[in-house]
Amino acid sequence: MKVLVIGSGGREHSICWKIGQSSLVDQVFCAPGNGGIAQDAVCVDITATDIASLISYVKKNNISLSVVGPEAPLVDGIVDAFESEGLKVFGPTKAAAALEGSKAFAKNIMKESLIPTAAFGIFNDHKKASQFIKDSQNPVVVKADGLAAGKGVIVASTKEEALCAIDDIMLKKAFGDAGAKVVLEKRLAGEEASFIAITDGSHIIPMASSQDHKRAFDNDEGPNTGGMGAYSPAPVVDSQIHGRVMDEVLYPLIAGLKKKGIIYKGFIYAGIMIDEKKPSVLEFNVRLGDPETQPLLMRLKGDMVPVLMEVANGGSIKTMTLEWHDDPSICVVIASGGYPGNYEKGKPISGLDEAGKIDGVKVFHAGTKKQDGKIVTSGGRVLGVTACGIDIENAIKKAYEATSKISFDGSFYRKDIGKKALER
């Protein structure tokens, strides 16, 4: 069979790489792909949000299954459009993707379904939002309602910081229309983890746990990013937390959506804060996390294509499972200077071959392209250097050994990915 992966980042590179290992798959295509994905799949020059062109390509090339990587096409309704043409596609519908497309929608679903989450208010009026912050007894997290490429959340330490954030979002339109409405919520204490699963709308297969590192710089300092690194498993998600997330978060979520007539099928991602053995939901995403996918798929045993096909076919995954290698894995993101703000593109990258020769290492490409026969930068997050090891210390050592061999003008990366796992 032929499979099309839609997207162009590190997440999509790792999906292409894993799907390409399936005995069921003859050929993997990726639209639009990037400079590194071209080594593991046939890149197709169609953007992830050009739904009409993607449908035409899938029909013309007899693609058996399409897997949607990023959130934007899901929120735009790509799954509905594919299914209306009788095409097999893995991902949630437009109605279900509102879980990520609107933070207000997600918070209301959590409230209705009694899913543990921070106290919150929803505002489309700047003055009322400002008053809420001034009256608040606790530090406030400010969230743009719509999609903002993972950067629309400001974890404020002071009221002044929170007030500046809503000025930027609501008045200065820092995130465009995504900030016409804001969610303001109580800042939670604890340790974050990512809990990702696959669901057919009734049954859920949990994936291994992972932990992302959102802040740009070491010790969780600097602005929020799309993610500067991740590792799996996350020791903070023990068996007790795992059970509570399944029972108190994911199953109530699927049931709550079903009450609204929404059958959720695809990947579901719960960003959770864990404090004193209690999980609370920070956010839901409607796709695999990036960069969590890279270490997760490095640890996945066997083939996930049968599970993806079963969901795309509208079947049941009740008796299906995924298995995981015990060896932990870690991904270190190398980013362009200036990210998550302005950065330059087109910087030649050196050391990729040397890094890839280290045992247990795979360099996934996020923001790269091929130019005059060379791999150059084309995004903020450029590479995800991913390594498996016999323990977390060994995985960290391998990942940073490989990272040290790669360079381009202005590159930077965090030096403390996996530190929390080591401490535990």
Q: Is the CB of residue 274 less than 8 Å from the CB of residue 236?
A: yes
What percent of the chain stands above pLDDT 90?
Answer: 93
Select the CATH number that applies to the domain covering 2-91 from these four: 3.40.50.460, 3.40.50.300, 3.30.465.10, 3.40.50.20. 3.40.50.20
Whole-number Å distance between alpha carbons of 86 and 114: 36
What's the CATH superfamily of 191-324? ATP-grasp fold, B domain (3.30.470.20)
Quick: pLDDT tens for 75-113.
999 999 999 999 999 999 999 999 999 999 999 999 999
Averaged confidence pLDDT in the chain: 96
Q: How confident is the model at residue 148 (pLDDT cuts 50, 70, 90)?
A: confident
Q: Is the CB of residue 214 less than 8 Å from the CB of residue 225?
A: yes
Model confidence at 150: pLDDT above 80: no
Sequence-ordered alpha helix ranges (H) in 149-245: 159-166, 239-245
Whole-number Å distance between alpha carbons of 365 and 413: 15
Quick: pLDDT tens for 153-189.
888 889 999 999 999 999 999 899 999 999 999 999 9
Ranges of each domain in the chain: 2-91, 125-180, 191-324, 329-423
State both tokens at 180: 């016409």
Please give the model's pTM, rounded to 2 decimal places.
Answer: 0.95
Quick: pLDDT tens for 298-325.
999 999 999 999 999 999 999 999 999 9
**Got the DSSP string for 65-110?**
EEEE-SHHHHHHTHHHHHHHTT--EES--HHHHHHHH-HHHHHHHH
pLDDT of 224 = 83
pLDDT of 233 = 97
Whole-number Å distance between alpha carbons of 180 and 184: 13
Q: What residue type is assigned to position 261 of the chain? A: G
Model confidence at 262: pLDDT above 80: yes
Quick: pLDDT tens for 114-140.
999 999 999 999 999 999 999 998 889
Q: Is the CB of residue 88 less than 8 Å from the CB of residue 64?
A: yes
Whole-number Å distance between alpha carbons of 355 and 382: 15
What's the CATH superfamily of 329-423? Phosphoribosylglycinamide synthetase, C-terminal domain (3.90.600.10)
**CA 266 to centroid of chain Cα atoms:** 13
Q: Is the CB of residue 41 less than 8 Å from the CB of residue 7?
A: no
Statement: 125-180 belongs to CATH 3.30.1490.20: yes
